[in-house]
Chains A and B, each alone.
Chain A
């Protein structure tokens, strides 16, 4: 199988694959980078929300080209980097024509790794308005599938109470390379009592615990959060200590050897933080395992070990860290991020136990978010799709190649893509984003 893979990825194999029509993966724009072409702002009607946010972000923007009846549709003449549609005033079916008219010329011109961003209001008002809010989602998902060369489409529903400051971190994330593998998604941005409190760098001096930090996505999360200024407490099982030490030292953090399923795991995390005179800002519950088997072959042990590590452990740890007065517990205005999975959202053959735990994470953040809003604590999750890690590298080549390509970007994501999305959720400026599950899957065909 390894030989087949080598042939497929050899220059000759690739040129053959290209001629055979196998989609070629575009190198994605990543990191804290902006589109290279201009950003186009298309307000439908006269809303100012997005305009104000772009001004606050210091981004220049241009007028849209509007599609007009005629033989040749008008174009931009050059590549554009992104189009941001402010559809917050759109509530009728007729108004959707305005969206079509700005998207048609833009889709012709959007650059590689360009962006289509639609900002709208959550469903509200009469029946038609509800239908329209959902129509926008259908449009967004379809545009995501039609875009090529690593360009993405995403939809943000912004609550009426939210200010332009509340959406800044979201627009920042979506326009930048950080959202490279987030495609065809929609989520809600609201407001919070504390309001967004942006700092630069965003996580400067903030202590964040990352479980399962010794390798793969956990190591990436530690690096990306540290790049953004965070002080990392890297947690992993004692047996992973050697690579955990390497990660902790690389990011200038501390290592804590701990099995998250230990009865006193929460207490030990709090004690580690308190002992070092630190205040805990956030925790990323990244530790997770798989014990795949068809349900007919899944015994109680396989069942419980996965549920314990992936879900029960974070419930117990959260409870300790959220208890008022716990030294080293989560501070008000803090952040909790869990890791769900597209397998959890859509189900996946051979992964009942895993799907149970990962879907459970999605349920958990939805429930916790409103309860913790008063304390300014946000609770969110990311749901990775096919990510290139040591774990997925063990999937047989042909199967892996299929998994990797069955999404709108025709490639697997990198651990950094998951980490960047987590960084966005942890950003103090993302105070209005809570109870959300953001898929980082390149718009995988699997998982609604």
Chain B
């Protein structure tokens, strides 16, 4: 018996700037809130769901079982199993694929994919020397030894070690990596600012239309994505100073995503099971692909989704024209623009093992309700934000409408997926 995995819907909390409205909320709190909104929307209170898979990129050691603990705090049946899963910014898209695959294998009837991140509540660790001294002191057998061990603490040891967003192998931050890509692909400042302005404009229009009424549940008094600037413009964005790529850089705070807090969830189910339970499906998960690039050797860190998209489309026998809508995660405006340029580049595509260029995208089909530049980008939550949004958009266009999701991630990773409206 074959099983089809469908997206029933989703729920997220509005995203907010790090250190902003959710400064006091933990990953656990936000994930629980996003789950509870989903549970309420679909009447899942007290129900056992097949599995909940989710994760966070910035994670405290105490959150070793974050998703399971959030399930226990939520209104779901405590009999609902859960697992933590992490793939940098690809986390909740990968979790969606994981749940969809289990459904397709007949292992579960329903499941929830989720992601959460708090850049406000990032884990702060003690420095390595301090850790070694404390270990020695706690192992000391006499008070004298203990005092002697502790006496070696120096003020410099007390500085907390904040989590780094640097690539471990290159020592470059993501922005610095993207600045290299921006330069080598010749992405202009104007194009980046235009893309950022479009993201804000599209998101603002979607909110005004009530598009998010059944996708978002307010949290802590925040009723709308707090990073959204409906009144921004290309002119306003043009006035910002460069943030990455040196004084001549083209990447600014306006065309790069801000550190954000938020959580998102996707409810997936077996198509037949959904029908039996009177849950209407928006779209089916057609296929997915993950790729990686060798960024330590100089490959563009955030262009791994290009290879993933090419391989996936080849496997499915699809071309770019077969997609009614495309969602490319806006890590930076220039990431999206470099991705589109790479899709058009015969050399680049052949270089990553594809048969030829992917093609030129009609921009009218891109990120039509805005993306990470305007919404914000709590790392692990972005995939689970995009999936229900795209599923709803495709469902509106009618059965058979197809959409592509492309998400870049740290470590030179890229996750892409294809959805088709039912």
Contacts and interface: CB of A to CB of B under 8 A. Distances in A.
Q: Rank and list the top 6 A-B pairs by shortest CB-CB distance, nearest first.
A: A277-B278, A249-B75, A245-B40, A255-B40, A248-B40, A254-B43
Interface stretch (A65-73, A234-242, A371-379): A234-242
A246 interface: yes
Contacts of B33: 242
Contacts of A244: 40, 217
Q: How large is the interface on B (under 10, 10 to 19, 20 to 34, 35 or more residues)?
A: 20 to 34
Interface in B244-284: 278-280
B213 interface: yes
B41 A249 contact: no
Given A238-B218, A257-B213, A245 B39 contact: yes
16 contacts: A238-B210, A238-B213, A238-B218, A239-B218, A239-B223, A244-B217, A245-B36, A245-B41, A246-B36, A248-B45, A250-B75, A253-B40, A253-B43, A254-B40, A258-B213, A275-B280
B161 to A, nearest CB: 35
Contacts of A257: 213-214, 217
Given A238-B223, A244-B40, A252 B46 contact: yes
A277 B279 CA distance: 8
B213 A276 contact: no
Contacts of A239: 218, 223
Given A244-B217, A246-B36, A248-B40, 15 more contacts: A238-B216, A238-B218, A239-B218, A241-B216, A245-B37, A245-B41, A245-B217, A249-B45, A252-B43, A253-B40, A254-B40, A255-B41, A255-B217, A275-B280, A276-B43
Contacts of B64: none
A241 B215 CA distance: 11
Q: How large is the interface on A (under 10, 10 to 19, 20 to 34, 35 or more residues)?
A: 20 to 34
Contacts of A238: 210, 212-213, 216, 218, 223
B36 to A, nearest CB: 5
Nearest to A240: B218
B287 to A, nearest CB: 28
Most chain B CB within 10 A, of A239, A242, A245, A252, is at A245
Contact of B278 (A241, A253, A275): A275
Contacts of A251: 45
Given A248-B45, A249-B75, A241 B37 contact: yes
Contacts, number: 68
Contacts of B219: 242
A246 B220 CA distance: 13
A238 B222 CA distance: 11
A241 B217 contact: yes
A254 B42 contact: yes
Interface string B195-232: 00000000000000010111011111001000000000
Contacts of B223: 238-239, 241
A42 B280 CA distance: 58
A395 B46 CA distance: 38
B14 to A, nearest CB: 10
Interface string B12-41: 000000000000000000000100110111
Nearest to B36: A245
A242 B37 contact: yes
A152 B280 CA distance: 50
A434 B210 CA distance: 37
A290 B218 CA distance: 23
Nearest to A278: B278
A250 B37 CA distance: 12
A84 B285 CA distance: 65
Nearest to B224: A239
A244 B310 CA distance: 44
B213 A249 contact: no
A38 to B, nearest CB: 41
Interface string B335-362: 0000000000000000000000000000
B392 to A, nearest CB: 14
Contacts of B210: 238
Contacts of A245: 36-37, 39-41, 217
A361 to B, nearest CB: 27
Interface string A376-393: 000000000000000000
A242 B43 contact: no
B347 to A, nearest CB: 48
B31 to A, nearest CB: 14
A253 B276 CA distance: 18
A60 B110 CA distance: 52
B360 to A, nearest CB: 38
Interface string A203-247: 000000000000000000000000000000010001111101110
A240 B36 CA distance: 14
